Amino acid sequence: MKIIIVGCGRFGSELASRLSKAGNDLVVIDNTALAFHNLPEGFRGRTVEIDALSQDILFRAGIKQAEALAVVTNSDILNAAVSHIARNVFGIKNVVARNYDPANRSMFETFGEQIISSTSWGIQRVVDMICQPEIKAVMTTGNGEIDLYEIRIPEAWNEKILNDLIRSCECLIVSLTRAGHASLPSVSTRLAEGDILHISATSAGIQSIRNRLESTKGG
């Protein structure tokens, strides 16, 4: 796949490294040559030292042949502008923009851009790991608005009804695994200690489940 990456800081260089190892054809753009020192030794993609906020520069970088573009600089304004140009001027359908400062997220939403916020996502994962380690996020969508969670059923919930645990309109049952066998349980299924429950939930939905598990601890 032919991919253009705009921004070669720690985020962009790691992204370039992984995409390069997967065999993609890369062009990496940054406005300073020193940034390319972040790339791994032996990197085989093309590097372009120039300001990306220009249709002409993107054209020269090969955007007409690109199948995807990632804009991952530390400037939300630049990221939003370049991704907007890529989609609406050059017709690149697969465009992802980095949201560096969560306070600027509404700007990206106004443009309708596909964004990833490493800050928001990372903070949510730390909250999850600290607040209740028996609940693990195993897959995320968007920036953590909806995640797939794995929950190990504790002793206090043995023989209780599944619906008592997931009593929220903001979560959906995915599967229940017992003794190595996965099934699609109903809301009336009785839980057993050690069951592995997978659900998809919003942050409000998983917080509701956390509260229910917390309320049964110690008795």
As a three-state string, the secondary structure of the chain is: CEEEEECCCHHHHHHHHHHHHCCCEEEEEECCHHHHHHCCCCCCCEEEECCCCCHHHHHHCCCCCCCEEEECCCCHHHHHHHHHHHHHCCCCCCEEEECCCHHHHHHHHHHCCCEECHHHHHHHHHHHHHHCCCEEEEEEECCCCEEEEEEECCHHHCCCEHHHHCCCCCEEEEEEEECCEEECCCCCCECCCCCEEEEEEEHHHHHHHHHHHHHCCCC
CB atoms within 10 A of CB 96: 17
Enter the pTM of the model.
0.63
Q: Residue 15: what pLDDT?
A: 92
Q: pLDDT per residue over 20-66, tens digit each? A: 988 899 999 998 889 999 998 888 899 988 876 667 778 878 888 89
Within 10 angstroms of residue 97's Cβ, the number of other Cβ atoms is: 28
Residues 182 and 203: their CA atoms lie apart, in Å, by: 25
Please tell me the distance from the alpha carbon of residue 63 to that of residue 92, in angstroms, as a whole number.
Answer: 8
Q: What is the torsional sign of CA 181, 145, 133, 212?
A: negative
Evaluate whether 179 touches 159 at the Cβ level (below 8 Å): no
Q: Which residue ranges of the chain lie beneath pLDDT 70? A: 52-54, 120-121, 124-125, 127-133, 142-144, 218-219
Q: What pLDDT digit, counting tens, does each position of 108-121 carry?
A: 877 777 777 777 66
Domains in the chain, please, with CATH?
2-117 (3.40.50.720), 125-215 (3.30.70.1450)
